[in-house]
Amino acid sequence: MGTTTRSRRARRNASAMRMVGALLALYREAAGHTQRSLGEIFVVGEQQIASIEQGRRPLKPDLAEQLDELLNTRGALSTVLSRMPEVDLVPQWAEEFLDREREAIVISSYENQVLPGLLQTDAYAEAVFRSRVPVYDEDEIAQLVAARIERQTILQGKEPPITSFVIWEPVLRAPIGGKRVWVEQLRHLRTCSELPGLMLQALPLNRATHASLDGAFVLLETPDHQRLAYTENHRGSQLIADPDEVAILTQKCAMLRSQALTPEDTRDLLDRLLGEQ
């Protein structure tokens, strides 16, 4: 999706995040809890508690308040969290999604506005960010593009996640950035479509039925098999953990896959689009 992001080095102050994590670990141990027992109490999992304590994942305000109450810290975690410096372009509401995406073992998405960030070329990503209103300055655009490309390393790892992308056909045909950028992007999609464990499907424009007229979304499965969903709108986003809500989007995703072209037919479509140039 079009998540606003940049490199991990420039995200929320790393030293401050480690400080908050160390403080949580101190209070947790003093209260006699393990990472697992604390994760079970708040239904977030041992791995998430470990990530927060290591400074790799931000502690959210609502969880900080609950931890303060359970660990009897007199508001210490909430207070230090409210004093953390903001030094980056990553909206707080997007941070946890980026962390979860990085560790996910399965990623599925439907896109109907722009190509998935994980499949964008540098030039296409730059064109997307240049289209923003209000506009970014040149430094911000450079940082955002670099971060988007960095996210794509998860597809090149030793054990990449299983990925499934359904893209509405008009998105494939939209010449974002101009013809040269668009053709380069189509070639990149064609290459990505051959990656092991990656399924790329186009949802044809001539479909009489459409399972997600409500818009784009992403589904994630974490290493501990928690299923999450992520949606965006003009002014924010939502990371959804409620099983019933995630189940609805999972059903939409399954229906979209059945309505879309097969991966083989999608490759043929990309070949035709490239052949017309």
Confidence band of 6 (pLDDT split at 50, 70, 90): very low
Confidence band of 34 (pLDDT split at 50, 70, 90): very high
User: Residue 55: is its pLDDT beyond 90?
Assistant: no
Give the mean pLDDT of the chain: 89
pLDDT exceeding 90 applies to what percent of the chain?
Answer: 66
Classify 133 as helix, strand or coil.
coil
Q: φ, ψ for residue 218 (rounded to 5)?
A: -130, 140
Give helix then strand counts, H and E, for the chain: 12, 6
Q: What tokens appear for 192 in the block?
A: 């990505």
Per-residue confidence (pLDDT) for residue 93, from 0 to 100:
54
